[in-house]
Amino acid sequence: MNSPAEKFPTEIAVQSLEQNERSLEITWSDGRISNFHYLWLRDNCPTGFHPSTQERLFNLTSVSENIHALTSAFDDGALYVSWSEHEHKSAYRLEWLYENSYSPDFKFITESPATPWGTEILNCLHEVQYADLMQNDAVLFDWLSAVNKWGISYVRNVPCTDDGVIDVANRIAFLRETNFGKVFDVKSKPNPINNAYTSEALPLHIDLINQETPPGYQFLHCLVNDSKGGESTYADGFKIIEELKATSPGSFQILSTVNVPMRYHDGETDIQTRHPIINADENGRLIELRYSPHLVSTFDMDEDMMDRYYRAFRELMILINDERFVISIRMKAGDLCIFDNRRVMHGRHAFQASETHSGGRHLRGCYVDRSEFESRLRVLGRRYDQAPSSR
């Protein structure tokens, strides 16, 4: 993802400016060179944005593809351009140009904030107290930053009420509604419509990979846990994918390029999509893992791909269950776990309900999408003068 290169150093100035056929070339006082194409500059003229909403009003088709600078000049604070069409003039802050430079001299690919982990995270698993989180925005910012980095965190001493998980999620944003509702109860039920609603073991998985866009962050709040067994399991999909890419690049390539069918269906719904199991951007940075053994449908790729795909898929499955990557935690009443549902896989051991408490193990869950999580993090980052990287 292209994004601002870095903060504008106060000592940086323009050393020279050159008008080329299709762009302006700026040499900065630190020796870096930026080329700004005329169409890009005209499209980003500050006058082309609404002063209140900051949304673009300018229509690119109102100028020709051959628009160019008639004159250009700079001072200590801005670049000034007079255009070849409509007698238009633009002024650009030098700070803005430097931060948005897309030339090779600039590092314009934001580094991922994600720090991959294996079982060592058990020694430093991030956690926060519910009371602090609900009352202090600085604590909220630190918590969101940690979740952005590690993909997982625990909140302790959340009130064991139906609204406990909602209250925590609403500190970030509104809830994502799915075919399971806005809030769902994870406990053993008669005639279950999902494996989560049984007492069986759940293999590591990502929720709702069959959706066009799976939910971003999942919240699971433990209300009761008097069962035998039922420990929660987690593994960092990004760590595992890195291992796969290093040890079996051919398998990584297949799993990140071949679409496979994914499906959830019951008596009321039949939600299907097709996507690669691994999703990376054009720069190779990991975006998501869509792994769920019980929601991948019948593979239907070409005959010459089928055997190779199964071998690659099997390699991934072996790594996902490698003891180097899987952690196990027994939740107690009042614990809430938040995790990046498109990065961190979760599951559980089988459990046996207590003879003295019906249900024995009861978690209550909900989702908040990544876009809302990241929005909250950016806004709080500006307040505390820290701008966390976006995905």
Q: Do 285 and 362 fall within a single domain?
A: yes
User: Residue 338 domain-assigned?
Assistant: yes
- CATH assignment of the domain containing 57: 3.30.2020.30
Extract the tokens encoding 19. Answer: 């008008």
What one-character DSSP code corresponds to residue 60? G
Contact status, residue 306 vs residue 100, Cβ threshold 8 Å: no
> Cα separation of 114 and 195, whole Å?
30
Query: Residue 231: how many CA atoms within 13 Å on its side-chain side?
Result: 8
Q: Do 186 and 75 fall within a single domain?
A: no
CA dihedral 383, 385, 386, 387 (to 10 degrees): 70
Q: Hunting for tokens 């079982």 — which residue is that?
A: 119
Q: Do 173 and 288 fall within a single domain?
A: yes
* DSSP character string of 231-265: -EEEEEHHHHHHHHHHH-HHHHHHHTTS-EEEEEE
Q: Do 192 and 127 fall within a single domain?
A: yes
Domain coverage including residue 21: 14-99
Task: Go through the chain and tell me how many residues it has.
Answer: 391
Helix (H) or strand (E) holding 89: strand 89-93
What one-character DSSP code corresponds to residue 332? -
Contact status, residue 211 vs residue 303, Cβ threshold 8 Å: no
Contact status, residue 321 vs residue 204, Cβ threshold 8 Å: yes
Q: Do 70 and 171 fall within a single domain?
A: no
Extract the tokens encoding 251. Answer: 């398998």
Strand order in the sheet with 33-37: 14-19, 23-28, 33-37
pLDDT tens for each residue of the chain, 391 residues long: 334 445 567 788 999 999 999 999 999 999 999 999 999 999 999 999 999 999 999 999 999 999 999 999 999 999 999 999 999 999 999 999 999 999 998 865 566 789 999 999 999 999 999 999 999 999 999 999 999 999 999 999 999 999 999 999 999 999 999 999 999 998 866 565 566 556 677 899 999 999 999 999 999 999 998 877 779 999 999 999 999 999 999 999 999 999 999 999 998 999 999 999 999 988 889 999 999 999 999 999 999 999 999 999 999 999 999 999 999 999 999 999 999 999 999 998 887 765 554 458 899 999 999 999 999 999 999 999 765 443 3
What pLDDT is stored for residue 282 in this prediction? 84
- CATH assignment of the domain containing 335: 3.60.130.10
User: Residue 114 domain-assigned?
Assistant: no
